[in-house]
Amino acid sequence: MTRPSWDEYFIEITRAVAKRSTCNRAQVGAIIVKDKRILTTGYNGAPRGLPHCTDVGCEIVDGHCVRTLHAEQNAIIQAALHGVSVAGGTIYSTHQPCHVCAKMIINAGLVRVVYAGAYQDEIAMQYLRAAGVQVERFEQGAAS
């Protein structure tokens, strides 16, 4: 039996969280961790009380579904809603954050992003690097 690294463990949890997604286009999950403890989780879905994509379909504008909040946004919002400080923490995501999520990650005080899937938003990467946020693409088998 091989014990998973912390990054592998937390990425696997983001994949489970993503299964709660209510957008038909992509299932994305995110968790915020500090001191090896999960603080919040988030998945992409409609705002509370509004219809989900799975119920009424996606609302597409410029090739993106605007009905849903992103997983990273929901994880950060859950922290704010419940009074949990995420400053100094790490956000794990099944996908690379977009530029809007990158700005939220920066302002939330998160210091590290670990993502598994490919999503190309170079602007997001520029913002995160400029703000000094450590960004790593998770690769299976990498030690951490």
The tokens for 61 are 């504008």
Q: Decide: helix, strand or coil at residue 37.
A: strand
- In the set 8, 12, 59, 72, the catalytic residue is 72
Output the furthest CA–CA distance in the chain (Å, rounded). Answer: 47
Burial of 1 (0-12, 13-18, 19+ CB in 10 A): exposed
User: Is 72 marked active-site?
Assistant: yes
Question: In the sheet that 37-43 helps form, which strands lie side by side, from edge to edge?
Answer: 37-43, 29-34, 90-95, 112-117, 134-137
| Cα 34-76-98 angle, rounded to 5 deg | 105
The tokens for 35 are 């001191």
Give catalytic residues, as residue numbers: 72
